[in-house]
Chain A
């Protein structure tokens, strides 16, 4: 069974600094997708960034980038120039690329709460 592990329950970063959130996963599949979701307090959970496993190039979205190490099964999120609005719970998630049943289940980690200090 696939698992996702986020070993940092909480992280803090100074405004304008850079922070990296860790995520490791376990799977026997070769084709899958990885995601980082963000949930600000009392707000909807939104997609921050996604990575297709077959792509070697790390995904980037503005200030957000990932370090995808497929062999090590590691998928960390780097937030550059941190802003107060980045404060949120961040969830790492895994999803198989193809399923027989038609249900694309997401496997989530336990989350990392990011605090941004002014």
Chain B
């Protein structure tokens, strides 16, 4: 069974440009999460999808970030325009159900974003 896959694995863009990160969750997982780790700091929650609906987007830093999950399958996270402080690792995770019992959350490898 394929795990959570993220693309690209690494991206270097200039300040002001746009970057789109993609996440393919494990097949059949309704719950999809985005987290971010700025270098040297903790991993922070960005948002949570249940199928195609945003359940919680309280962690999104500002309106330069747009997440979508059309059709409830893969998700994209677009940063436009990118700023230097957006550099970090963006993790995607998915789980089958929301409750803890039986809810193992699986993470991807992360997409490393560097804004120069």
Binding site for B on A (CB under 8 A): 4, 9, 33, 37, 39, 42-47, 91, 93, 95, 97, 101-111
Q: Is the CB–CB distance between B4 and A44 below 8 Å?
A: yes
Residue from the set A43, A44, A95, A106 with the largest chain B CB neighbour count within 10 Å: A44
Report A101 CB to chain B, min CB distance, Å. 6
Known contacts A33-B100, A101-B56; is-contact A106 B105 (Cβ 8 Å): yes
Interface size class of B (residues with CB under 8 A): 20 to 34
Measured between beta carbons, the chain B residues less than 8 angstroms from A108 are: 35, 37, 42-44
Which residues of the partner chain A approach B50 to less than 8 Å between Cβ atoms? 102
Could you tell me if B105 and A110 are in contact, using CB atoms closer than 8 angstroms? no
State the Cβ distance, B98 to closest chain A Cβ, in Å.
5
Which residues of chain B (73-100) have a CB below 8 Å from chain A? 91, 98-100
Residues of B within 8 A of A (CB): 3-4, 9, 35, 37, 40-45, 48, 50, 55-56, 59, 91, 98-100, 103-110
* Nearest CB of A to B9, in Å: 8
Cβ contacts under 8 Å, A46 to chain B: 107
**A111 to chain B: which residues have CB within 8 Å?**
37, 42-43
The CA-CA distance from A107 to B43 in the complex, in Å, is: 7
Task: Indicate which residue in A97, A103, A105, A110 contacts B42 across the interface (CB closer than 8 Å).
Answer: A110
CB of B43 within 8 A of CB of A91, answer: yes
Instruction: Pick from A4, A47, A102: contact of B98, CB below 8 A.
Output: A102
CA distance A108 to B88 in the complex (A): 15
A45 touches B55 (CB 8 A): no
Interface pair B100/A109, CB less than 8 Å apart: no
Residues on B with beta carbons closer than 8 Å to the beta carbon of A45 = 91, 107-110
B42 close to A106 (CB less than 8 A):
no
| B4 surroundings in chain A (CB, below 8 A) | 44
| Measured CA separation A111–B56 after assembly (Å) | 25
Known: A110-B40, A110-B41. Contact between A103 and B48, CB under 8 A?
A: yes
